[in-house]
Copies of this chain bind each other. A is one copy, B any other.
């Protein structure tokens, strides 16, 4: 059920920015299925779900390294590849996946399924709002994801454009500048507390989307009760209703 957590009026909102991995797309299901498929073709017996979990951990570690300056800025595909190489080595799988297979694994993040409520919710929101993807994924990756999902956004912005990763405040500021809107004219829609917190710090309005299966079946989801935001919803259909569409 939709829950309002602030008294802030959302009537000034003109654009909605959507987090992609976990909020709009079910990355865990998509990546784990492709890992299983690529492993099968490589003739390797692996726990695709465990690899997917470990790969996501590598991603967060890499983001932190970039954000703290320990590693220079690099594109998500590069970070994904480095993390994959590390986790394969750590699990004695270095000889199991050749360069081509690793390339296919990295590209598995370019084609993912939408959560079932997304297409309908975005179609209802689109006549009133500018809908913008805003993700740590690379620009080409996001363009591919959106194209294969039926192009539900009006525009795409990426960490690669801002040259920094969410939740750095600069990425939200760059977004506000490019959309030519005050931060309060933008609603960040995300299933991650850290993204919501970053957007709030930049002055965005925020809608938290509870996604109980965001981390897949092996891990507990974030607890929505702990998130400071304007609005909590349980899908994009509910978001459209909350915004009067």
Contacts and interface: CB of A to CB of B under 8 A. Distances in A.
Nearest to A162: B161
Contacts of A178: 138-140, 158, 160-161
Interface string A147-174: 1000100111010110000000000000
Contact of A180 (B130, B132, B139, B147): B139
A180 B146 contact: no
A179 interface: yes
A228 interface: no
A144 to B, nearest CB: 8
B143 A179 contact: yes
Interface in A97-155: 130, 132, 138-144, 146-147, 151, 154-155
A155 B179 contact: no
Contacts of A179: 139-140, 143
Contacts of A138: 178, 180
A77 interface: yes
B161 A154 contact: no
A130 B147 contact: yes
A139 B177 CA distance: 9
A28 to B, nearest CB: 24
Contacts of A154: 143, 146-147, 151
Contacts of A144: 130
Interface in A44-87: 75, 77
A133 to B, nearest CB: 9
Given A140-B181, A156-B156, 4 more contacts: A130-B147, A139-B178, A141-B180, A160-B178
Interface of A: 75, 77, 130, 132, 138-144, 146-147, 151, 154-156, 158, 160-161, 178-181
**Top 8 A-B pairs, shortest CB-CB distance:** A140-B180, A139-B178, A143-B155, A147-B154, A155-B156, A140-B179, A143-B154, A161-B161
12 contacts: A77-B180, A138-B180, A139-B155, A139-B178, A140-B179, A140-B181, A143-B155, A143-B179, A146-B155, A155-B155, A160-B178, A161-B161
